[in-house]
Structure 1
Amino acid sequence: MATERSEVETLIREHETRLRTLAKNGVSRSLLEQTAFESDALKLRVQSIEVEQQETQRAIEESEAHVAGLNEQMKALRGSMPGSADSSAAAQMSRVQADLEARQLELQVQKERLTVQQSAYQVAKEHQGVISRWYQSLQQLYLSQQELSLTEALDQLQGRIHKEQQDLLKQADEARIHLAQIKGDDNKSKADRSLLETQIQNLEERVRLRQVDLALAQAKYRLDNLIAATQGADVTPASLRSAVEQAEALVRDLDGTQRLLREKVAVLEEKRQLLNKRLALTPDVRKEINQESQVVAGLAQDLQLKLDNLQNSIQSINAERDLLKLRYDQSIEHSLKIRRQLPPDMVAWKEAVLELLLIPKQFSQQCFATARQIAMSIDRNGISRLSLLVLLETVWLMAMLWLRQVLRSLSGRFKDRRERFWVRLVLLVVELLVRSIPLILVSGAAIGFLLMMESPEPATSTLVALAAAAVGFKALMDLSWLLLAAPTAPAGSQLPILYRKLRWILGLTGVFTGLHLLLHFLPTSLTIKDLVNRLFMLLLLLLTLLVWRSRRLILGLLEALFAGRVLWFKAAEWISLGLPVTVLVALLLGLVGFVNLASTIGGYVGWFLIVLVGWLLLQGLLQDLASALRLRLTATESKETVWTQGLVDPLYRVLKWVLFAAALVALFQVFGWDSQSPVVRSIGRAFRTPLLTLGSRSLNVLDLLLSGVIITGVVLAARWSRELTHRWVFSGVADSGTRHSLSVFTQYAVVLLGVLTTLRILGIDLTTFAIFAGALGVGVGLGLQSIANNFISGILLLIERPLRTGDYVTIGSNEGLVTRIGIRSLTVRSVENQEIIIPNADVISHEFTNWTHSDSVVRMKLEVGISYDNRPTEARRLIQEALAVEPLVLKTPTPRVWLKEYGDSSVNFLILYFIDMSTCTGWESKSAVLFAIWDRFEAAGIKIPYPHREIIMRGEGPEDSDKGKLGIS
């Protein structure tokens, strides 16, 4: 083993010498491949020795168990033998003794073999590491040489292309000089000018073609670099993903160039056809036109050749991109399937325990080294550095005290405004900061001390990481106290118990987090770090189980938070079920060894919670903003802000959906789910699954989802446009009916535009609806007749406008104010405040009364009677006075009072007056006028007669009859 170890050391020195030589002479491809083969062979050898170690360890365990059994058997035989043993017992004991000695000798040989195998494993591992580092150095040197040679070739090509472009531009300038010298307006001059212009265009296009050549060379250079950088078995998934993204960027750049060249070829083809037409019209300049045609044809041919080259380059890049995608998927799958094993045997466990016991010693050595460095720094810098340190620490202390005072004053300022979400959020953040200031003060002072004393790494980095973890867990514990156990927390007997359990688990989790950070900065093995990670996952498992057991309690708090919003509460219920289960599965996977898979799932869950909390916070802030804007607009009486009130609620709904979409995009971004990820590709394949065929167009899931989103947006936009145009755009129209009709037509236009846009996006030709339109016509003739009749009647009502919103109408037995004219029906609000829905067809096909069609002035009619004992002229005067002073009665036209007739028991007057229906109703005006007449009649002593009736009681005699007539009982 010593010989092999010396060979490894000699090999290291040889590699260093050869590397300096190869840096001058270059690395060949065969040497790189040979080294890769040697590295793979050593890797297999290490794995083989590891398997042999495991087999030897199992054999040792079996031998130890057998030896222990034989020892027990020997003890039993000795204890059962009498003082003078017989020959059979002695023979059995001798056989067991011989078997025991043989087994012990075999066990000793196995242990020696295990020692040899362990030494061989260590040497092979070192040898593999040396060869692996040697291969990495050769690969890096080879890539540098390849990149240098490619760069030199690209520079040479760029210089040559630049020179050719200069020559072409010089020829174009000479052609422009000749073009400026051509004068005249005859066919020959025109043909010469056109020929020169085409030649100039040809030269300029060839300059651009040379630029395309350069772009193709650069694309090939970048592709070669990508392929070279992703060679080898140790390429990380992140590198492969970056290579895929760069390959797609190359394809996008070349696609743009390809589209431009195609457009130019099409333009040149049109120009060639135009030249053929000119040739037929002007045969006297045939020579010039033929020359121009040849120039155009040659340029078009060269552009087509360049298009073919571009197409080949794009295909090759796409092929390499697909290979990189495949390797990326395989790399991700392989990394997720890796299972880390715990120490396989007792020897490995003993080594791990010994390494764990050495951690305090390593930590103390690190601390002593840092202390010595700090002491040396103090001796080197003298008292000046200490004085500056004291000054800075004092400033830091004063700054923290000032910040604490400012935060407390801010908390007192907003304490009485807790009804706003943003105020509660600010108060929560302020409280957490105030509680964390002492820890931040101490941590900042310690970090500043290490920085000023020029402490060596990793002391400063370790302290920064530990301080950040401590502040984070302190904030979590304070937050749990504020939400569960503080006096301002929701009432509940289980909340303090939940807080106490959560505090202990968070404390232990914080301790193991600090230990994990220390191990990250200390020179420990992967086995020790893996053990600590398993313990950390075990604590997280306890925390997850605690959250799971407290799920009902948490849902009870959320139910009060989402009161009246069933959908949001259901979503919170599903999230509270899915998240603990997902975390539980991830932790169990991590505990059994699938650490990468567990870390990936845990990362997804963590980012999901961060995005969810951020989205909820922004939702609350948006709701506060909308509420404040509504209150401000409600308090404003200016008419210019009426249209703004119609914008607040729609904009709030739109912004909520925009915020939700932004949260989804952010979630995909932090998950790394771009166009290359397997998840997005699987979703894309599912969305592009064909569902049905309409004409020649096959519709998939994405088309239907997009149609649903567009239709929903169109419906909301149509409703919003109707309200917006009615409130703002057509606010200058005095007639409310006209304004309503215009706003409804705007709504119809938006709906029609949305439907056409949906069909356009889906790629559906309207001609494919011919059969459907015929079937629709049959349906209208049979079952949809009434619907179509009402729809057309609604359009006629809006165009002809026999009635409008705001008109007072009598339709059949229904009377009231028209409040809405829709597509199928109109709505009338009666005097009893009932909403009466009347089909549009009934209004069009039957007569109705519109009391306010031309204007809102309506004549009212009343009849009032007085007693024959009163003077009619006096009564007429009193009625006229009552009409004159009543504010609801119009002065023009003049009210009229007529003596209508002499009734049976009264003198009857007919009262005619006019009111404005836009200010009052008929019932309201009648009531006011009748009250005014009653008051004046009562003051003047005028009686309003009522019918008298004589009741004759039939009795036994005339006396009773007379008493009945007199009303005597």
Structure 2
Amino acid sequence: MDPETSDLADQAEQILEIGQGLLAQSQGVLNAMLRPWNAYQIAIALGLWMVAHVLMKLLRPRLHEWMRAREGWPKWQLRVLVVIHRRLRMVFFVALIWTVVVVMREVTWPSRSYVLGIIANLALAWLIVALTTRLIQNSLLRGVVRYGAWVWITLRILGLTDEAAEFLDTVAIEFGATRISLLILFHAALVIGVLFALARLISHQTAVRVQTNEDISPSMRVLVVKAAQVLLFGAALFIGLKSVGVDLTGLAVLSGAIGVGLGFGLQKVVSNLVSGIIILLDKSIKPGDVISLGETFGWINSLGARYVSITTRDGKEYLIPNEDLITGQVVNWSHSNDFVRLDIHFGTAYGDDPHTVRRIAVAAAMKVDRVLSDRAPVCHIVGFGDSSVDYILRFWIRDPTGGLTNIRGNVYLALWDAFRENGISIPFPQREVRVLEGSRLRTSAQD
């Protein structure tokens, strides 16, 4: 017989023997449950579950109204109340069954409450797992940790951990010297899930503390948060794989292959990642800055690993690659300070006094909201055009996030009203046709 076929046959026979043992043990447990002194304990547990259900129906609406009145409570306390409110039936059941178990152990033999004790331990363990896993924000990760913990605790309380571990270990696949079994996969999912949950919780708390620290610049806050997330999740994955016996020496070869792939196929991705790090380090832009890049004008929402999110005045959100911000010409309207100078051009007729025009233009700009008075507007003549005297009006604002086009439009309207009140005209190109003396105007008629 082929050695591989013989190994598969031995493995199948071993699995069959373990399965038969588990089946026999399960039948023994079931037969024990059907005994009179065990059956009535199950009936008591079912009765307590119904009482817990009735209590939940009666008290849940009152608890909900009481929770709605707790407006001044801290947010974490309200979240705890919400979690308890959702598991109220299980809370009542655990309290009732443990009360019954304690009373029965005092007034009767231990065997008369043995099954109730097992059910009470299972209910308490399941309730603790359900409450603690609510701290995990990711639904998939929360489900993996919750159901994995429930299975392990149930087997632990029932005393079936050795048999279940042996059965899961026999179902395996071998690749040369590497052996992967269901037991290893189960351990890996549970350990990595718990570590990822801890890493997520720690990274969230770190992000909250860093974002509220006013001594750190906004760009450095983003960099610190991103670096902490990479380190925590990387450490969680490394420790999780190492704890279940995965050999990580092969990652050196894998990292070399990934490096080659990055060099050929992911140049833009790597360029954007490196550009993002440079942007965070040199602090050229930060969240909240108002920038212009080509035809895009808006303020920065967030700095990502691959792109920068910019929201414009019309509500559109642009995702600009980090490389474009490094290689292109970017106008940061609020890099060193929030003061921005704006220029508008206009012209008046040659018959209007330039001194009066300049004075009226400055006074009109001063009346517009958002125009700074401590940095007074100025008006200068910039040229004599074909049909008008050309001026430039310069004024300052300190809130570019409020928009630039609208403030320019308000200043133009103020100039229009002021010029009309003072009789100053805004000319437009005109052409005159003069007939010289001695010339004759000839017309020709065609039949």
TM-score bracket for the superposition, by shorter chain length: 0.5 to 0.7
Q: Which runs of structure 2 are paired with 1:219-230 in the superposition (5 Å)?
A: none
1:731 matched residue in structure 2: 214
AA aligned to 1:925 is: I
- Please tell me whether residue 675 in structure 1 is matched to residue 156 in structure 2: yes
AA aligned to 2:323 is: A
- Please tell me whether residue 852 in structure 1 is matched to residue 334 in structure 2: yes
Q: Is the 8 A contact 1:808 1:818 kept in 2?
A: yes
1:842 matched residue in structure 2: 324
1:711 matched residue in structure 2: 196
2:422 matched residue in structure 1: 940
Change (3 A) 1:732 1:908: same
1:901 matched residue in structure 2: 383
- Please tell me whether residue 701 in structure 1 is matched to residue 165 in structure 2: no
Q: Is the 8 A contact 1:688 1:702 kept in 2?
A: no
Q: Is the 8 A contact 1:863 1:909 kept in 2?
A: yes
* Cα distance in 2 between the residues matched to 1:653 and 1:783: 51
Q: Secondary structure at the match of 1:935?
A: helix
1:794 matched residue in structure 2: 276
AA aligned to 2:158 is: S
Q: Is the 8 A contact 2:307 2:322 kept in 1?
A: yes
AA aligned to 1:718 is: S
AA aligned to 1:877 is: R
Change (3 A) 1:624 1:895: farther
Q: Is the 8 A contact 2:365 2:371 kept in 1?
A: yes
Q: Is the 8 A contact 1:826 1:838 kept in 2?
A: yes
The percent of aligned pairs where both chains have the same amino acid is 24
Q: Secondary structure at the match of 1:675?
A: helix
* Cα distance in 1 between the residues matched to 2:399 and 2:237: 41
Q: Which runs of structure 2 are paired with 1:448-597 in the superposition (5 Å)?
A: none
Q: Deviations over 1:270-295 (max 9, x none)?
A: xxxxxxxxxxxxxxxxxxxxxxxxxx
- Please tell me whether residue 870 in structure 1 is matched to residue 364 in structure 2: no
Q: Is the 8 A contact 1:697 1:764 kept in 2?
A: no
Q: Greater RCO between the two (CA within 8 Å, min separation 6)?
A: 2
1:931 matched residue in structure 2: 413
1:722 matched residue in structure 2: 207
Q: Determine which structure has the larger strand proportion and give its number.
A: 2
- Please tell me whether residue 828 in structure 1 is matched to residue 310 in structure 2: yes
Q: Deviations over 1:175-218 (max 9, x none)?
A: xxxxxxxxxxxxxxxxxxxxxxxxxxxxxxxxxxxxxxxxxxxx
Q: Deviations over 1:235-284 (max 9, x none)?
A: xxxxxxxxxxxxxxxxxxxxxxxxxxxxxxxxxxxxxxxxxxxxxxxxxx
Aligned-pair distance for 1:823?
1.4
Aligned-pair distance for 1:837?
0.8
Q: Secondary structure at the match of 1:700?
A: helix
Q: Which runs of 5+ in 1 are unaligned?
A: 1-324, 339-594, 634-643, 951-956, 961-969
2:98 matched residue in structure 1: none
Aligned-pair distance for 1:819?
1.0
Aligned-pair distance for 1:864?
1.9
Aligned-pair distance for 1:746?
4.1
**Higher Cα Rg, which structure:** 1
Change (3 A) 1:785 1:806: same
Q: How many residues align?
A: 357
Change (3 A) 1:669 1:736: same
1:206 matched residue in structure 2: none
Aligned-pair distance for 1:833?
1.6
Aligned-pair distance for 1:597?
8.6
Q: Deviations over 1:148-198 (max 9, x none)?
A: xxxxxxxxxxxxxxxxxxxxxxxxxxxxxxxxxxxxxxxxxxxxxxxxxxx
TM-score normalized with structure 1 length? 0.31
* Cα distance in 1 between the residues matched to 2:326 and 2:414: 41
* Cα distance in 1 between the residues matched to 2:38 and 2:356: 104
Q: Deviations over 1:739-781 (max 9, x none)?
A: 4444444444444444445445445465342122122223323
AA aligned to 1:860 is: L
Change (3 A) 1:890 1:620: farther
Q: Secondary structure at the match of 2:418?
A: helix
Q: Which runs of structure 2 are paired with 1:276-425 in the superposition (5 Å)?
A: 332-336=29-33
AA aligned to 2:300 is: V
Q: Is the 8 A contact 1:816 1:829 kept in 2?
A: yes
Q: Is the 8 A contact 2:172 2:179 kept in 1?
A: no
AA aligned to 1:914 is: W
AA aligned to 1:913 is: F
Q: Is the 8 A contact 1:626 1:648 kept in 2?
A: no
* Cα distance in 2 between the residues matched to 1:889 and 1:822: 34
* Cα distance in 1 between the residues matched to 2:253 and 2:232: 26
1:468 matched residue in structure 2: none
AA aligned to 2:121 is: Q
AA aligned to 1:677 is: L
Q: Secondary structure at the match of 1:833?
A: coil
Aligned-pair distance for 1:598?
7.1
- Please tell me whether residue 773 in structure 1 is matched to residue 225 in structure 2: no
Q: Is the 8 A contact 2:122 2:157 kept in 1?
A: no
Aligned-pair distance for 1:899?
0.9
- Please tell me whether residue 808 in structure 1 is matched to residue 290 in structure 2: yes
Aligned-pair distance for 1:934?
2.7
Aligned-pair distance for 1:606?
5.3
Q: Determine which structure has the larger helix proportion and give its number.
A: 1
* Cα distance in 1 between the residues matched to 2:319 and 2:238: 31
Aligned-pair distance for 1:865?
2.0
Q: Secondary structure at the match of 1:767?
A: coil
Q: Which runs of structure 2 are paired with 1:583-622 in the superposition (5 Å)?
A: none
Change (3 A) 1:746 1:688: same
TM-score normalized with structure 2 length? 0.62
Q: Deviations over 1:634-667 (max 9, x none)?
A: xxxxxxxxxx77x789x6699679979x97x967
Change (3 A) 1:816 1:776: same
* Cα distance in 1 between the residues matched to 2:406 and 2:294: 22
Change (3 A) 1:819 1:941: same
Q: Is the 8 A contact 1:876 1:897 kept in 2?
A: yes
* Cα distance in 1 between the residues matched to 2:352 and 2:59: 79
* Cα distance in 1 between the residues matched to 2:171 and 2:24: 29
RMSD: 4.8
Aligned-pair distance for 1:828?
0.5
